C-alpha cells in the first residue's frame, strides 16, 4: 500500500519533469537547426566530431521519447 503510494507520487513528480525537459530539448533543436543543417549535414566528409555531435544530439531525443512512452503507457 505505502509502496504503491510512493510509486504514484514518484511518477507524478517525474513525468512533468521529463515532459519539460523534452520541450526544452525541442526548443533548442528549433533554435539551432539551421546552423546544424549547414555545419553538420551539408559540409564535407564525416569526422569524429560530427559523429559525436549527431550521436549525443539524437540519443537524447530517442531517450526522451522512450521515457515519455514508458511513463504514459504504465498504469
**pLDDT tens-digit readout, 10-66:** 666 667 777 788 888 889 989 999 998 888 888 888 899 899 999 998 898 888 888
Number of domains in the chain: 1
CB 11 within 8 A of CB 71: yes
**8 Å CB contact between 22 and 62:** no
Q: Collapse the DSSP code of 13 into the 3-class scheme (helix H, G, I; strand E, B; otherwise coil) and give the result.
A: helix
Between 20 and 3, whose confidence is greater?
20
pTM exceeds 0.75: no
8 Å CB contact between 74 and 4: no
17/19 Cα distance (integer angstroms) = 5
Domain extent, residue 35, equals 2-73
Amino acid at each position: 500500500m505505502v509502496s504503491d503510494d510512493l510509486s504514484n507520487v514518484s511518477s507524478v513528480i517525474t513525468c512533468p519533469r521529463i515532459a519539460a525537459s523534452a520541450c526544452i530539448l525541442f526548443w533548442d533543436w528549433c533554435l539551432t537547426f539551421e546552423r546544424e543543417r549547414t555545419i553538420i549535414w551539408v559540409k564535407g566528409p564525416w569526422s569524429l566530431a560530427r559523429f559525436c555531435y549527431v550521436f549525443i544530439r539524437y540519443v537524447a531525443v530517442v531517450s526522451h521519447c522512450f521515457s515519455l512512452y514508458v511513463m504514459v503507457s504504465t498504469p
